[in-house]
Amino acid sequence: MHSETTPSDVVMTDEQASAEAARIIADAYRPTAYRDDTPPPAYGSTPPVAQPGRPPMSQGATDASALMLAGGLTTAMVGGTAAVLMYVSQFADPLVCGLVFSAPTALVLALARLVARAKPAPDVHHHYEGPVYQDRRNIHTRTTGVWAKTNNNQ
């Protein structure tokens, strides 16, 4: 006969059984992965990664959004001033106030359009080495039909 004991032969007290049950439960719920929360160094050759939220923008898009926010704020201030003036006076004509307070905004918009049109066309310089063939054809594409059929015309 063997002198080894099998799990069915082991007799445990209630305290030992509850301690063993607590150990088994703790082992079952122990995390199986580790996350290193130390910040990475601020230098190196790793390229930047887009973060969640607003997508990265070019400098031109950033400048345009700043102009739009400033224009919106200016418009809100002008409109608020007109509203307060009409409310306080109880006599102001809304049409006259609209004309007076929209005139600066219209002037700024007209000047902005003139400035945008006054920009000279950018100079494009290409530097090539060796024989170069430039194809400057314009291709007009039209896709029609239930089953898509594309026609490319020069």
Tell me the per-residue pLDDT of 108-133, one tens digit each, with 9 for 90 and over.
888 888 877 777 777 888 888 888 88
Angle made by CA atoms 86, 89, 95, in degrees to the nearest 5? 40
Q: What pLDDT was estimated at residue 3?
A: 53
Phi, psi values for residue 70, rounded to 5°: -65, -40
Question: What's the pTM value of the predicted model, to 2 decimals?
Answer: 0.32
pLDDT score for 15: 92
Question: Secondary structure of 22-91 in the HEC alphabet?
Answer: HHHHHHHCCCCCCCCCCCCCCCCCCCCCCCCCCCCCCHHHHHHHHHHHHHHHHHHHHHHHHHHHHHHHCC
Beta-carbon contacts of 5 under 8 Å, excluding residues fewer than 6 positions away, are none
- 153 bridge partner residues: 140
Each residue's pLDDT expressed in tens, for the chain with a length of 154 residues:
455 555 556 788 999 999 999 999 888 887 777 778 888 777 777 777 777 877 778 888 888 888 888 888 888 888 888 788 878 888 777 787 777 777 777 888 888 888 777 777 778 888 888 888 877 777 777 777 777 777 777 6
Task: State the Cα–Cα distance between residues 20 and 88, nearest whole angstrom.
Answer: 80
pLDDT the model gives residue 5 = 56
